[in-house]
């Protein structure tokens, strides 16, 4: 612990597992919120903290509105830029509702992220136009795997939500990403931008030193958790009842699809052929005597 007050705390992750310090930090934020109404904890010198929505779901289960975000290695270009200057920087929000699932909005402030490009490479899916920008300021198209390599070498960059330039609001995603960068570095005097590449001056691997923030707002300190949950539920139900586009079966709200997929996958998670081959390759490389269920 670097500094702590009744409602805030600054924590050093000591280059440990992001998931461990993330759980601890959000737990602290919730505890502070339950006592004082609001709590915020920031972390520095951490690493990838996993699924951001996990932490906001911790807050909503406790009857709190939750917020979290993290910076990451610089792969996203600013508006009118072509070089990765900041990370995909998710801004994640959760609100408790009276439905079977809470509102849980977890997404990057870039149109897509490296993990999605890796998935596209595995399934042979091409890039969506405008998601990656090249050094000429134009969209990179075609093979996702090739684009991923170009991003890694600094020859291309992901684009913020809204895309290249300002016409479709790229400056909005850029602004949200910068806000996450601020909260992930300013309050805890943490690393940012190109200091998060995971490489030292000589190209050697070094800890990423990422920063995170966690905010919890206890609804009971306002007009009560029950009222908050019902009002939030009323709002999302009204939105879902609005007129649908031709051919659309339903309108979703954040957290709904994930809830339904979780129920559907209680019996197991499907693994595509590309990932199966990766599992088999690792097993064979290590000389393990094991047969996977999907090899039957």
Domain ranges of the chain: 1-108+168-264, 112-158
C-alpha–C-alpha distance, residues 93 and 37, integer Å: 17
pLDDT band at 275 (very low <50, low <70, confident <90, very high): confident
Q: Which whole-number Å values give the CA distances from 124 to 116, 146, 155, 276, 282, in the listed order?
A: 12, 11, 22, 15, 22
Residues 50-90: tens digit of each pLDDT: 999 999 999 999 999 999 999 999 999 999 999 999 999 99
Query: What's the average model confidence in pLDDT over 167-190?
Result: 97
Residues 226-256: tens digit of each pLDDT: 999 999 999 999 999 999 999 999 999 999 9
38-46/132-133 β-pairing: unpaired
C-alpha–C-alpha distance, residues 86 and 166, integer Å: 18
Class of domain 1-108+168-264: alpha beta
Q: Tell me, what's the pLDDT at 270?
A: 87
Class of domain 112-158: alpha beta
C-alpha–C-alpha distance, residues 114 and 183, integer Å: 22
């Amino acid at each position: 612990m670097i500094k702590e007050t009744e409602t805030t705390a600054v924590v050093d992750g000591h280059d440990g597992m992001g998931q461990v310090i993330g759980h601890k930090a959000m737990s602290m934020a919730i505890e502070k919120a339950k006592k004082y109404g609001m709590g915020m904890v920031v972390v520095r010198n951490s690493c990838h903290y996993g699924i951001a929505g996990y932490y906001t779901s911790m807050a909503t289960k406790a009857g709190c509105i939750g917020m979290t975000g993290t910076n990451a290695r610089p792969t996203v270009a600013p508006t009118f830029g072509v070089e990765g200057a900041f990370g995909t920087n998710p801004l994640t929000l959760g609100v408790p509702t009276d439905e079977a699932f809470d509102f849980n909005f977890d997404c990057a402030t870039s149109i897509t992220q490296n993990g999605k490009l890796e998935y596209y490479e595995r399934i042979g899916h091409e890039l969506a136009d405008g998601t990656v920008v090249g050094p000429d300021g134009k969209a990179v198209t075609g093979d996702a795997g090739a684009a991923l390599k170009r991003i890694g070498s600094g020859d291309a960059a992901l684009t913020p939500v809204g895309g290249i330039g300002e016409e479709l609001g790229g400056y909005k995603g850029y602004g949200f990403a910068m806000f996450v960068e601020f909260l992930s570095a300013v309050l805890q005097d943490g690393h940012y931008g190109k200091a998060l590449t995971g490489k030292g001056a000589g190209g050697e691997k070094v800890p990423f030193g990422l920063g995170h923030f966690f905010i919890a707002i206890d609804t009971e300190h306002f007009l009560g958790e029950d009222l908050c949950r019902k009002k939030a539920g009323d709002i999302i139900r009204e939105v879902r009842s609005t007129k649908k586009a031709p051919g659309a079966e339903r309108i979703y709200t954040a957290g709904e699809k994930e809830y339904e997929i979780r129920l559907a996958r209680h019996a197991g998670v499907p693994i595509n052929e590309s990932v199966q081959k990766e599992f088999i390759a690792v097993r064979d490389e290590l000389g393990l005597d094991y047969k996977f269920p999907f090899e039957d």
